[in-house]
Structure 1
Amino acid sequence: MSNIKVLKPSTYLTEVKALSDRIVKAQQPIRILDAIKWDDSIKQAFLQSGCKSLPAIDADYYKQRPLGFDPSDKKEEFHQIERDLVRKLGQLNPLSVIMRRMCREYQDVVYMLEARGTSTFSNISQELYGSSQDVFHVGDPTIADLGSMMESTLEQLLQLDFLNEDPKTITAKEAVDILNQRIEEVLPGEGLRAMLSDGIVSDAAAGTDYVKLRADALFNMRDLRVLEVHEIWVHLGTTLNGMEQPYCTFLGKGPPSATVTQEGLAVLMEILTFSSTPNRLMRLINRVRAITLAEEGADFLDIFAFFRAKGLDEEDSYTLSSRVFRGSSSNGMPFTKDLTYIKGFVLTYNFMRLAVNKGKPDRIPLLFCGKTTIEDMKILVDLVEEGTVSPPRFLPPQFRDLNGLSAWMSFSRFMTSLNFRQLEQDYANIL
């Protein structure tokens, strides 16, 4: 008679939730962007130098800024969770595979943060978020190539007066009021909110249950629409759906691999709603170009000059350059997180068009189950069918009714097979 103990489904799900909760708790003190940001004194010193001296950022600078947790203990904690996943769920169990990968990712994050100011930091960053030299598929252009191709097209569009954007006259305080109204319209009664913050590099950033706006930032109504669909519909929406998962609570938190899908989905949402603009896309492409230059050896002053040549003022050029080198040194390799917007857009868009082409558009809304990754979508379908993962309660309008999205995507395979150079020649006498 076999001595193998067969767990009842209820016991199995209890184990899943307990292990998932341990991952959620273990990652709580890890705050990547807080750990790598530069003090305002660095900015002031750079501007006072006439923008001619490299910011004094090296490994010693970060040693003065503790992480808020013991790295050795944290790595050991994730190691123990990983071992318990094998002991309790098995080596090949799909959820065990996903959660063990998350544990290893978070361990890599800790290793990366331990290595702030050194070349190891950037090496791990490339492993987690990608490099500008990565390709999407064998023989395809690199992310850097994509940036160069889009840059030339967008530069032409930005020269057109009729595509100019409205001036930014809405203060951050006014923007908070507008966004809070929109949050209540889209996600009523969920306790989500927009708020002011002095401690972020970008104009806006999403947290667990809030969207932060930089207190001195200015906006126009188009900017607020982008923030609505990007930060509220996608980032807050997927967080809300993830935190409501009864067993797989890890879906409420996103490791770096989920960041790629999250940011790609958010940019795609901007485009699907016609909220984005050539200027907005150029800002994202400029980040790709800046990371590419830094990976090729450019230092902070070179990247600062790159942004100045794009017409940005000294303050904005400093801010964007610091995004490239945060966590690294001012003459080191870059922090590559900002590649995820364009990289994730391509991966997510391809997933959607292939899902439609294969007659499986119903899989697309599962991207909103929480902080998901493209690689896990096939497993996620099974988990939803068996009830281990709940379908997303909140979905943007474009994903509630898949008719329009399916109709649009059904043409994509044919359209992308056309020879664009030949099209240019054939249409030369028309355009």
Structure 2
Amino acid sequence: MGSQESLDEYQSVIRTLSDRLVEAQTPIRVLDAVKWDDRVRQAFFAAGAKKLPEVDRAYYEQRPLSFDAAAKKQEFQNIERDITRQLGQFNPVGQIMRRMCKEYRMVIRMLEARGSADFGLISQELYGAASDAFHAGDPTLADLGLMLSDFLNNIATRGDLADEPKTLSASEAVALLQTRLDGVFGRGGEQSIVRVFESDGIVADAAAGADYIKIRSDARFNERDVRALEVHEGLVHVGTTLNGLSQPICTFLAKGPPSSTVTQEGLAILMEVIAFASYPTRLRKLTNRTRAIHMAEEGADFLEIYRFFLAQDYAEDEAYGNASRVFRGSTPDGLPFTKDLSYLKGFIMIYNYIQLAVRKGKLEQIPLLFCGKTTLEDMRTLRQLVDEGLVAPPRYLPAQFRDLNALSAWMCFSNFLNHLSLDRIEADYANIL
């Protein structure tokens, strides 16, 4: 982040308020606060995987938040009040920052409600529900998940689409991913802008930080996995963080509230698709998570979700891991934590946004998705802020989004094909397929 010395008074006010917002959210770590510890997993399997995990309100109370929730909510309330006092009710930057303050207060309320019914309800407010539709009369997210599952089932038995063997160790994946990211972000060795290293303290195969990617020490990979990590974690998650950190005035763009999670994960999945880095097994993982969340919303408990994942050919440990993602922060028979809907929901929203930007001739809007942890509803405002010099355009931009010629051509064809009836085409092509 740049110095405040070169800013005029108006810019300096925005920067100060923005820095306060960034500072205030620092101790809020949602995933750390909701995850289940390894003792829960051990007890579940010790009981033969036949009893619900022993997670209730008291379980979370034994794992207190790392901050004073009441004081933190008051802090965001004070920042929100000062934004209005210093920038006015209708200032565009102020409107974005005030919404972020409200979201963070809602996040804190959700974390205070861990282990209660309110946790799942607030989660739905923040991240959405599987039963949400995109437009009146359209399929819900759960419907789209089932539809995608059907498509994937049609190709599931093809031997030539089986995943390549995972022959790469974590250390080999680290070396390969580091080389690829150095090629994207520039500089290598000790000077690498993005660092890749092993970690034995993460649940997922990989996790992105501000300027690093951690790889789980005991995980195995193939080259396709590494390519997906390069695109998803590197080009999108780390790239947008670095672009946010380089903002001289609107420093809040380096940090993302839940509304930006949908944009982030949607961008990451879209990037995987247009960079040809995704594959059926990876897509199935996303659709299964969506289906599992919908099942939990409909009343399924942890054991039913665990058995669902077993039926999808997951090993027992993987099935447990996926089922616990659905109920973390909640109870094993409560409403789900809906953050994992962000992948499919975000993909559809980002795809539609880019398609519409191309149709309306507003191509300059598209790269701004990468200028930090953005939210779709702020995109018009961000365009205005770039024009005013308050927001810097993205420094790191994937090749697919630098080349607006190719992206707009792809979207024009996509727009055109959307107007054709696939059912009619399927009937006409029946004799040649």
Cα displacement (A) at 1:211: 1.1
Give, in whole Å, the separation in 2 of the partners of 1:82 and 1:155.
49
Give, in whole Å, the separation in 2 of the partners of 1:159 and 1:198.
34
Cα displacement (A) at 1:294: 0.5
Which position in structure 2 is the counterpart of 1:312? 314
Equivalent position amino acid for 1:53 in 2: K
Which position in structure 2 is the counterpart of 1:411? 413
Comparing 404-413 and 364-373, the one that deviates more? 404-413
Identical residues among aligned pairs (%): 59
Which position in structure 2 is the counterpart of 1:41? 39
Give, in whole Å, the separation in 2 of the partners of 1:172 and 1:32.
26
Give, in whole Å, the separation in 2 of the partners of 1:200 and 1:267.
21
Give, in whole Å, the separation in 1 of the partners of 2:202 and 2:9.
43
Give, in whole Å, the separation in 2 of the partners of 1:342 and 1:364.
19
Matched, 1:219 2:217: no
Match of 2:294 among 280, 292, 295: 292
Aligned pair count? 423
Comparing 205-214 and 380-389, the one that deviates more? 205-214
Matched, 1:70 2:87: no
Which position in structure 1 is the counterpart of 2:80? 82
Tell me the alpha carbon deviations over residues 147-166 of structure 1, each in whole angstroms, 9 at most, x when there is no partner.
01011110111211111110
Give, in whole Å, the separation in 2 of the partners of 1:423 and 1:206.
43
Comparing 407-416 and 129-138, the one that deviates more? 407-416
Cα displacement (A) at 1:42: 0.8
Give, in whole Å, the separation in 1 of the partners of 2:381 and 2:75.
26
Give, in whole Å, the separation in 1 of the partners of 2:158 and 2:172.
30
Would you identify which runs of 4 or more consecutive aligned residues in structure 1 move more than 3 Å?
A: none
Which position in structure 1 is the counterpart of 2:4? none
Structure 2: gaps of 5 or more residues: 1-6
Matched, 1:147 2:173: no
Give, in whole Å, the separation in 1 of the partners of 2:146 and 2:215.
30
TM-score, length of structure 1 as denominator length: 0.97
Which position in structure 2 is the counterpart of 1:58? 56
Cα displacement (A) at 1:252: 0.3
Give, in whole Å, the separation in 2 of the partners of 1:351 and 1:308.
36
Which position in structure 2 is the counterpart of 1:5? none
Give, in whole Å, the separation in 1 of the partners of 2:388 and 2:78.
28
Comparing 307-316 and 178-187, the one that deviates more? 178-187
Cα displacement (A) at 1:191: 3.4
Which position in structure 2 is the counterpart of 1:124? 122
Match of 2:271 among 269, 272, 280: 269
Structure 1: gaps of 5 or more residues: 1-8
Cα displacement (A) at 1:414: 2.1
Equivalent position amino acid for 2:394 in 1: P
Match of 2:19 among 18, 21, 28: 21
The SS at the match of 1:411 is: helix
Give, in whole Å, the separation in 2 of the partners of 1:372 and 1:231.
16
Give, in whole Å, the separation in 2 of the partners of 1:411 and 1:150.
21
Give, in whole Å, the separation in 2 of the partners of 1:411 and 1:358.
15
Which position in structure 1 is the counterpart of 2:107? 109
Equivalent position amino acid for 2:230 in 1: E
Tell me the alpha carbon deviations over residues 213-248 of structure 1, each in whole angstroms, 9 at most, x when there is no partner.
222211111000000000000000000000000000
Give, in whole Å, the separation in 2 of the partners of 1:220 and 1:84.
51
Match of 1:353 among 348, 352, 355: 355
Matched, 1:98 2:90: no
Tell me the alpha carbon deviations over residues 176-209 of structure 1, each in whole angstroms, 9 at most, x when there is no partner.
2222222222112463212222332221111112
Equivalent position amino acid for 2:293 in 1: I
Give, in whole Å, the separation in 2 of the partners of 1:330 and 1:390.
45
Give, in whole Å, the separation in 2 of the partners of 1:254 and 1:213.
22
Tell me the alpha carbon deviations over residues 44-70 of structure 1, each in whole angstroms, 9 at most, x when there is no partner.
111121111111111100111111100
